[in-house]
Structure 1
Amino acid sequence: MTYLSRIRINPLREASRKMLANPRILHAAVMGGVPDHPTQERALWRLDTDNPRRPMLFALTRSKPDWTHIVESAGWPDADGEHAAVRDYTPLLAQLATGRQFAFRVTANPIQNTFRPHKPTPGQLEKQALGSHRAQRLGHRTAAAQLQWFTERTQRWGFRLPEARTDTGIPDLADDIQMRPAHELLITRRDRLTFNKPDNPKPVILHTATFEGLLEITDVGVFTERLLAGIGPAKAYGCGLLTLAPPRKLR
């Protein structure tokens, strides 16, 4: 079975401040809630900070989790309300059908693989000088590039983006004159995350974007696989979890 959880985070507590500042620490906390083979099971998670005073942590796990440790150290353990909601994901999966539309949200790590970075870092220049023939993975830094990265991959993820009813289109990055159809799609948040790993002196840098919009399923099998496995890279650091809701009009 698969379970989708929502955990309330208290940003004023010491443990939560550490989690909110470092995706590696938050990932460890999520995996600490998985009782069955936590080193083998890959959990997806996402931190939503629409209200910075009430962050919400979402997690998708294959086994039923226990979030007591997060509630006690980073939540409101003695307050009223539902601190950690855990729901069976099966009823949602049963609703998936070709042509069905859903509102969605996902935080992703849009990247490109290139042999010639436009503005190479000192480390990338060193690799070029050494004659490295491996493509380098770089994060897309502009909203336009991040949007294009997303829209170009929806078919391989088993869905399409319906065209917007009012907008006329947005410029194609390859040709500013050519207009691509506008979609029911927004970037609602963009971040540059920097954190350290114990085994690496160089900091990890991630450029992330939170996408919200309307999708239409084109391939139920592929779409289900992406719901369960996530989309894009950096899944251990809060990227890739696609959540669904009834269709709604974007603001």
Structure 2
Amino acid sequence: MYLSRVEIDTKNRQKLKNFTHLGAYHNWVEQGFPDEINHGERRRHLWRLDQLTGKNYLLVLSENEPNKGQLEKYGVLGTATTKSYDQFLDTIKIGDIMRFRLTANPSYTAPRPGQKRGRIYPCVTIARQRQWLIKKAQAAGFKLVWQQPAIDEVDGFVFDVVSRDYPMLHRKTGHGVHLSRVVFEGLLQVQDLTAFKGTLIKGLGREKAFGMGLMTVIATV
């Protein structure tokens, strides 16, 4: 596994004139793996958009190493970096307390009369978005760090929603839709090593092809 990052060239309007929806970023990511395209492979690449010290970045997690030139096609030349992610995964241990950042699409399913499958709705309020992550944590191999004294079950956890918006996605058929995008940051503790590594590699939640689901972590000590 490889974790790559490139600064987005936001000052070049000509480069980014078509980047008005998530599908354009998805295509950028896919173009970063020309060997996979040539061999007819359709591998899942997790990605997200980040902001750090006033700059915008594209972050990509992939099984294969991306082509640096393609990664910088819409980025600032010389800013693309790629590191082995497997080496980092091997350092994680049960009980580790880590700071995390997750961009996700929190949602829930409601039953529909006469239908086998329910309808999927976005979690709209911050409270429901936080509860979504709390419920996902155990199966994802971690628990959210608890802080005392706590006002209630939600306020006691050391994490928060730091950003949320509704970017546009133009689908191949039908009208475009706005997806709910939420950025969480906080502290977690690793509980199930296999499940947690699976979460880091495969992502969490829906709309993974369109910039959601990628969780990154760093050790607190």
TM-score calculated relative to the size of structure 2? 0.90
Q: Distance in 2 between matches of 1:221 and 1:3?
A: 18
Are 1:47 and 2:21 an aligned pair? no
Matched, 1:111 2:112: no
Letter in 2 for 1:233: R
2:124 pairs, out of 127, 131, 141, with: 141
Equivalent residue in structure 2 for 1:89, among 81, 85, 88: 85
Partners of 1:35 and 1:63 within 8 A in 2? no
Q: Does the C-alpha gap of structure 1 residues 180 and 42 become closer, same or farther in structure 2, counting only changes over 3 Å?
A: closer
Residue 210 of structure 1: aligned partner: 183
Compute the displacement of 1:180 (Å).
4.6
Find out whether 1:98 has 2:94 as its counterpart. Answer: yes
Question: Which residue does the alignment assign to 2:150?
Answer: 168
Q: Which residue is equivalent to 1:23?
A: 22
Alignment partner of 2:160 out of 161, 181, 186: 186
SS at match of 1:210: strand
Percent identity, please: 29
Tell me the distance in 2 between the aligned counterparts of 1:210 and 1:17: 25
SS class of match (2:36):
coil
1:156 corresponding residue in structure 2: 139
Q: Distance in 1 between matches of 2:71 and 2:191?
A: 37
Give, in angstroms, the shift of residue 31 of structure 1.
1.2
Cα 1:145/1:50, change in 2 over 3 Å: farther
Quote the Cα distance in structure 2 between the aligned partners of 1:15 and 1:169: 48
Cα deviation, residue 37, structure 1: 2.4
1:111-159, CA deviations, whole angstroms, 9 ceiling, x for partnerless residues? 011136xxxxxxxxxxx7xx54531111111111100001111000000
Deviations 1:149-184 (A, max 9, x none): 01111000000011024x5234xxxxxxxx556111
Matched to 2:150, the amino acid is: T
Number of the residue aligned with 1:230: 203
Q: Distance in 1 between matches of 2:168 and 2:190?
A: 34
Question: 1:200 is paired with a residue of what secondary structure?
Answer: coil
Q: Residue 9 of structure 1: CA displacement?
A: 0.6
Residue identity in the other structure for 1:98: I
SS at match of 2:26: helix
- Give the secondary-structure state (helix, strand or coil) at the position aligned to 2:16: helix
How many equivalent residue pairs? 217
Deviation of 1:246 after TM superposition, in Å, equals 2.5
Larger-Rg structure:
1
The TM-score, its normalising length taken from structure 1, stands at 0.80
Q: Distance in 2 between matches of 1:48 and 1:180?
A: 25
CA RMSD of aligned residues (A): 2.0
Partner residue, 1:176: none
In structure 2, distance between residues paired with 1:180 and 1:63? 38
Give the whole-Å Cα distance in 1 for the aligned partners of 2:35 and 2:119: 36
Flag the 1:104–1:76 CA change in 2: closer, same or farther, 3 A.
same
CA apart distance, 1:97: 1.0
Q: Deviations over 1:78-123 (max 9, x none)?
A: xxxx41010001221111111011111010000011136xxxxxxx
Alignment CA distance shift 1:17-1:95 (3 Å): farther
